[in-house]
Amino acid sequence: MSLAAIPSPTTAVWDLGPIPIRAYALFIVLGIVAACAVTEVRMRRRGAPPYLVLDIAVWAVPLGIVGARVYHVITSPDAYFGKDGDPVDALRIWHGGLGIWGAIAGGVLGAWIACRQRGVPLTFVADAAAPGLPLAQALGRWGNWFNNELYGRPTSLPWGLRVHVMDDQNPGHSLVMDGKPVLQEGLFQPTFLYESLWDVGVAILVWQLDKRHRFGRGRAFALYAMAYTAGRFWVEALRVDTAHHFLGLRLNEWTSLVVFVLALIYFVRVRGPQARLYVDDDGQLLTVRDDEAPGEAEVPDGKALDGKALDGKALDGKATATDVDDGATGDGTAEESASSDTAAGDAASADTASGDAASGAATATTDGDPAGAVEDGDEAWRAERPGGALDGEPDADLAVSADGGHGPSDGGTPHSTAEK
């Protein structure tokens, strides 16, 4: 007998009065909490309102659990619908049996429903959750350790796992003979530990690469899927629990290969910056691109973002050219500012060319109307500028585009990067 070995618990359930507390369920709950905490922090840093993750989790968690159970039952039908199976056992989820692939599929479906309700892109949530999901899986694998299940093939390695024979008549407890728990002969590969450690590594990998490259449009989630399935493939090859085989590989190995390829294709083909959320004055969530320079982001319906006024709207006491044109003011000072600018320009002109101004007023007429007159309410940028406008028109380099932005007068307009 090897003295260097990993022991296994003899009990996986504790009774709290009439309520059984199962280790398997506890670690699943801990995993959910960890994933939600990581996702919440990452979403808040990208502009999401507080506790948005709860709106997502209320759909993703239940559907994820249902999906995990459905996948397990479908891929292990003999245990429930075979000769000695009991279909009712398919509902006894506390006995164990959850498939990660079904959990991901059900969780994504639930997240999609929640995202549609809140008006948030699914890829935004998926990228934020990418490091948290493998942490949840890492914690969940310790529930398998308590259940003495999903271990690997026999081994002589010093970190081999001792596995108890569990009592079918007393679920959650090991079989006891002569007052001692019964152990299976030999040591086994601790595949639960391999996958748990691998998942922690995946979380760190996704976190660091996403921090450096700022993946967007679901690419961080695709990276997680690739990294996880790469590890799951070789861990699955070590397991000896009952499974369906095709062409010499276990079903979960084939699933890992398919998911890896699909995630790789998505990661390579899809490009795009990270998304950020913006909460407007009405409490609505709007999505903008994270690669925009401060003050350049635009959102629909004339909303303002990052200190820039859009569609002629005023923000933080500042008015755009169209504000003055329409008589709009920012904090009640836009018209005064425009008047001050005009007055300053007139004063400068008067100091340097008072005689020329008088001559221009006498001669620059067409059909009896003064061509250079500035009418009340005219645009602020029509004020005469040093070295600039002639006959009351703005210099070409100072022309104001139709949408309120400053730029060349050749019709160029600022690019719109609003995401809907």
Q: Is 78 helix (H, G, I), strand (E, B) or coil?
A: helix
Over the Cα atoms of the chain, what is R_g? Answer: 34
- How many Cα atoms sit within 13 Å of 243 on the Cβ side? 22
Query: Side chain identity at 374, as an amino acid letter?
Result: V
Spatial distance between the Cα atoms of 5 and 183, rounded to a whole number of angstroms: 13
Q: Which two tokens stand for residue 261?
A: 């390829």
Report whether 141 belongs to an annotated binding site: yes
Q: For residues 5 and 160, is the Cβ–Cβ distance under 8 A?
A: yes
* Strand, helix or coil for residue 261: helix
CA–CA distance, 144 with 27 (Å, rounded to integer): 9
User: Among residues 136, 169, 193, which one has the least CA distance to residue 7?
Assistant: 193
CA distance 348 to 356: 13
C-beta separation of 99 from 79 below 8 A: no
Cα separation of the two ends of the chain: 64
Residue in 246, 235, 247, 207 with CA at minimum distance from that of residue 223: 207
Q: Token pair 């660091």 is at which residue?
A: 208
Neighbours of 353 (CB within 10 A): 12
CB 138 within 8 A of CB 96: no
Contact at 8 Å (CB) between 261 and 279?
no
CA distance linking residue 4 with residue 1, whole number of Å = 9
**Cβ 65 vs Cβ 110: under 8 Å:** no
CA 33 to chain centre: 17
Q: Which residues of 156-179 are buried (b: 16+ CB within 10 A; e: fewer)?
A: eeeebbbbbebeeeebbbbbeeee
Distances (CA, A) of 251 to 95, 103, 258, 414: 22, 16, 11, 53
Binding site: what residues are annotated? 141
